[in-house]
Amino acid sequence: MNIHNQFFRGSGPYQAFAGRDASRGLATFSLEKDAIKDEYDDLSDLNSMQRDSLHEWEMQFLDRYPVVGKLLTPEEAAQRELKEIQPEDVQNDQDTKKEK
């Protein structure tokens, strides 16, 4: 464990953000429950000052932490699911054709 991991674990200062979409909370400087989402938040209602703040947070995090994942929009998640399912279905179709 490195020093950065301690921020997100247990009672660390960023623990409320771990595994969640923290974008709104960072943009609005809020730890309130409605500012930290368990699902994708499109952030379309943020004002320009909040968007600038969020961008500054993003730059700080990119300087300090490796990117380990991306929170997908519902559309991206559906597309990824289709891509994961599709190769299996194609293989099953090919196997069925070989059996005939």
Query: Nearest to residue 61, comparing CAs of 30, 32, 28, 18?
Result: 18
Q: What is the three-class DSSP state of 41?
A: coil
Q: What is the three-class DSSP state of 20?
A: coil
Residue type, 22: A
% of the chain at pLDDT higher than 90: 30
Residue 57 banded pLDDT, cuts 50, 70, 90: very high
Average pLDDT score over the chain? 80
**Over the stretch 19-55, which tens digit does the pLDDT of each residue have?**
788 899 999 999 888 888 888 899 999 999 999 999 9
| Ramachandran sector of residue 10 (left: φ over 0; alpha: ψ -120 to 50; beta: rest) | left
CA 45 centroid distance within chain: 19
